[in-house]
Amino acid sequence: MSTILLGITGSIAAYKAAELTRLLVKTGHDVHVVMTRCACEFIKPLTLQTLSRNPVSVDAFEKIATWNPHHVSLATSANLVVVAPATANSLAKFAHGIADDLLSSTVLASRAPLLVAPAMNLGMWEHPATVANMKTLVERGVHFVGPGIGELACGVSGAGCMAALELISEKISHLLAEKH
């Protein structure tokens, strides 16, 4: 069984993370969810806690039962870190080493492979800053799946949809197989 840290950011696609969590648990993974505060506006931690069968972490300063800083213990326990959905904001934080919340701190502290599934508005996806951040992350060895092309929540069509869960699951399996 592999331990997967699933990061969820504040995209409308956050609701899809519930089904991704269920799918990963069903295939035998130990899933630990870290949500940004903005993600909690789209889906509640209780949903992910129920589906993952593990506590969900949101706050970098929440009480923990061990001496180990929470972001460090999460980072070191993961065989793979998956951020799905990943907003333009989260990509910028990862690319520039900004660790101002539990998820970005954990990603920065982790040495596990990182898989990112972007999901955002077409304009945000195509913005030169996002393009540059993606290039930086690819150069550092970050793995990506998507985004897909389709109708976006804002009503326009184009790139920006979170990749299909089947594609994300396949990429996870591939990365975990490479690691062993």
Catalytic residue, chosen from 38, 40, 154, 161, is 154
- What's residue 180's pLDDT? 63
How far lies 118's CA from each of 50, 92, 104, 160, in Å?
25, 12, 15, 7
For the cut 70, the answer to whether the pLDDT of residue 50 exceeds it is: yes
Name the more confident of 152 and 111: 111
Please, what is the average pLDDT of the chain? 90
Q: Is 2 helix (H, G, I), strand (E, B) or coil?
A: coil
**pLDDT tens string 58-81:** 886 565 555 455 556 676 788 999
- What's residue 141's pLDDT? 97
Q: How far is CA 18 from the centre of its chain?
A: 12
Reply yes or no on whether 154 is catalytic: yes
- What's residue 63's pLDDT? 56
Instruction: Quote the domain boundaries for residue 83.
Output: 3-179
**Domain tally, the chain:** 1
CATH of the domain at 64: 3.40.50.1950
For the cut 90, the answer to whether the pLDDT of residue 111 exceeds it is: yes
Q: Nearest-5° angle of CA 162, CA 166, CA 169?
A: 95
Percent of residues, the chain, with pLDDT higher than 90: 77
